[in-house]
Structure formats: structure tokens, C-alpha cells
Amino acid sequence: MATATATPPDQTAPAPKKTKVPERSFGERWGDKKGWARRVPLLPALAFIVIMTQLPFVATILVSFTNWNANYPDEIKFGTLQNFVTVFTDAGLRQSVFFTILLTVTVVLVSLAFGLGIALLLNRNFIGRGAVRTMMIAPFLVVPVAAALLWKHAMYNPEYGLFNGLLTQVFGASAPQPDWITDFPRLAIMGELIWQWTPFMTLILLAGLQSRPGDVMEAAQVDGANAWQTFANMTMPHMRRYLELAGLLGTIYIIQQFDSVFTLTAGAYGTANLPYTIYQTLYNAQDYGLASAQGVIVVIGTIIIATFALRTVSSLFEEGN
């Protein structure tokens, strides 16, 4: 367990497994009946995923080299790089790249930090622990677009939203009444997402804490380790994988976040992230070629990020059997 602390990238590939057969030529493997017996159960899922996720992107790549604008159906031509020129010179798209990164990093890190703190609290014995855990999970179980609507209208609304309502309740009629979404557009989106994703992080980290081997903890205590030492030397190394897993899953979903941006600000005030920008090019401008080029760039970008992200979390696999 303790080996998980420092893993040089080189060792990320799986350790050789007991069951693994020695290296053979491709021909040998191809003809190997046992090998096929192993591969067959995998094939339906693999084929399905390849077709369903790769096929549309091949089409996207093809369209990105056209000047296809739905408003000019008679002028479609293949074989232009203009869309890519536009993509790289578009200030609006650069801004949306920046905001996508900012949004993902902020939401994931803050929810992870909150999630860890809350998981530590929930891992203790106290009256009504089950009830508190149930309350903590609730935000994750609200349908995202419903949550976005709830925050837009019932929380942030300057006239009758809960936040300003509570301000009035506490400070009286002269209380400040900020217009949350327009005064703090980015924070408004981040706040809503952190509220939704903290429970998710808490769940994963709580499971991690509960799988801490008790005897080791007890041994540490017998050795006279104080609470902080136990946390830093025993808990955190154990939790590293769980933090990585939570961070990875969070990143996957926040980077593609659409519902909140769509609902809360519709991309105004510098809150258009990449998915929303592509959506707008697709629908508002009806510029299918440009939208596809944007999509291609995003896919290339995310493959690069995904590669790094997966490398860092590859400790998840290292003890795989």
C-alpha cells in the first residue's frame, strides 16, 4: 500500500503479471485459439465503443475541411483550411479555452478539497452520521439542468432569490442585493458546480477512508503518532489513489460541462466554455464547417490533456492483477 506514494512515470506500465504468457510473434498470437477465447468477450464492447465514438469524429474531421454553412446550401465545397485559420485567429475561442481550463481546475480542486474535509468529518462517529451523509449526497442526485435552473431562479435571482432573501432577512431592507449572475458570472457557475460535485468527491473519498486498514492505524497510534502525523504519513498516502480517481472523474465531466453554462449565463460575460462555443457556432451561426474545426481542435487538445491526466492517475493500474 505504501508503495503508492512516489511513482516515476516510467513505471506506469503494468507490472508483468503471473498469468501473462511470454512474448510471441503476432502470427502466433493471431492463430492462438486460447488468445481468441480471451479476446472474444471483449470484442462486442470494444467494437461498439469504436463505432459509436470514433465514427462521428471521423465525420467531424471531414466536415471541418468544408465551408459548409447551413444558410448557404448551394455553396458547399470540400478542401479548405479556412476554418482552421479562423479557429486559431478567433479571440473568442481563445477566451473560451482559457475559461474551460479555469472552470475545470477550479471546480475540481475546490470540490476535492471540500470533499476531503467533509469525508474526514463523516468518517467520525457522531450522532446522526447517516442522516448527514444522506444530506451531503443530495446535491449530486439533482438532475444537472434542474440544479442549474434552481440556482439561476431560486438562488441567484436578485429579486426573489434565496441569497438576497436571506440578506434582507438578516440585514433588513437596506441589505445589499447583488445581482449574482451578472456581478460574478464565473463564480456563479463555479459555485453551482462545486455544490453539485463536492458530494461526488466526498463519496469517493469517504470510501477511501473507510478502506483504511484499521490495524495499521492502530499500530501507528501505539507508536505514539499524533493525529497530524497519522494523517500526513498514513492517511494521505492511502488516499492518493482515491484523490486521483475523484479528480479524474471530475475532470472528465466538468471539462464537458454544458448544462450550467447553457442555463445560467448562456455564455455571456466571458463564461462561454468550449462545449458552449461549439454549440453556438453550430446553431447560431449554422456554420457547420467552423463548428467541426473547433471540435477537431478540442478533441486534439483533450487527447493531449487526457494523456497527461491518465499518466498521472496510472497508479490506479499499477497493482492491477
Restricted to residues 202-241, the positions that interact with other proteins (CB under 8 A) are 203-204, 206-212, 214-215, 217-218, 221, 227, 241
**CA–CA separation, 35 and 38 (whole Å):** 5
Per rule CB under 8 A, is residue 58 in the interface with other proteins? yes
**CA–CA separation, 188 and 193 (whole Å):** 9
Shortest Å, Cβ 40 to other proteins: 8
Q: Which of 65, 99, 197, 279 binds other proteins (CB under 8 A)?
A: 279
Shortest Å, Cβ 109 to other proteins: 18
Is residue 93 packed enough to be buried (19+ CB in 10 Å), middle (13-18) or exposed (0-12)?
A: buried
Per rule CB under 8 A, is residue 108 in the interface with other proteins? no
Q: Is 262 helix (H, G, I), strand (E, B) or coil?
A: helix
Q: Which of 25, 53, 89, 174 binds other proteins (CB under 8 A)?
A: 53
Per rule CB under 8 A, is residue 195 in the interface with other proteins? yes
Amino acid at 98: F
Q: Which of 46, 81, 85, 109 binds other proteins (CB under 8 A)?
A: 46
Q: Which of 103, 108, 122, 261 binds other proteins (CB under 8 A)?
A: 122
In the block, cell 497519522 appears at 230
Amino acid at 204: I
Shortest Å, Cβ 130 to other proteins: 3
Per rule CB under 8 A, is residue 105 in the interface with other proteins? no
Shortest Å, Cβ 209 to other proteins: 8
Shortest Å, Cβ 106 to other proteins: 18
Q: Which of 30, 55, 85, 229 binds other proteins (CB under 8 A)?
A: 55
**CA–CA separation, 252 and 151 (whole Å):** 23
What angle, 0 to 180 degrees and rounded to 10, lies between the N-to-C axes of helices 55-64 and 288-312?
130
CB nearer to other proteins: pick between 81 and 266: 266
* Cβ atoms within 10 Å, residue 312: 15
Q: Which residues contact 309 (CB under 8 A, 6 or more apart)?
A: 248, 251
The H-assigned helical ranges of 123-176 are: 129-137, 144-149, 162-171
Task: Give the DSSP per-residue string, 256-271.
Answer: T--HHHHHHTTTTTTT
Long-range contacts of residues 156-164, Cβ cutoff 8 Å, at least 24 apart: 156/180, 156/181, 156/188, 156/264
Q: Which of 8, 44, 79, 224 binds other proteins (CB under 8 A)?
A: 44
Shortest Å, Cβ 98 to other proteins: 16
Per rule CB under 8 A, is residue 168 in the interface with other proteins? yes
Contact 210, 122 (CB under 8 A): no
Q: Which of 106, 123, 233, 237 binds other proteins (CB under 8 A)?
A: 123
Q: Which of 87, 103, 181, 193 binds other proteins (CB under 8 A)?
A: 181
**CA–CA separation, 119 and 114 (whole Å):** 8
Residues in the interface with other proteins (CB under 8 A) total: 160
Per rule CB under 8 A, is residue 157 in the interface with other proteins? yes
Per rule CB under 8 A, is residue 97 in the interface with other proteins? no
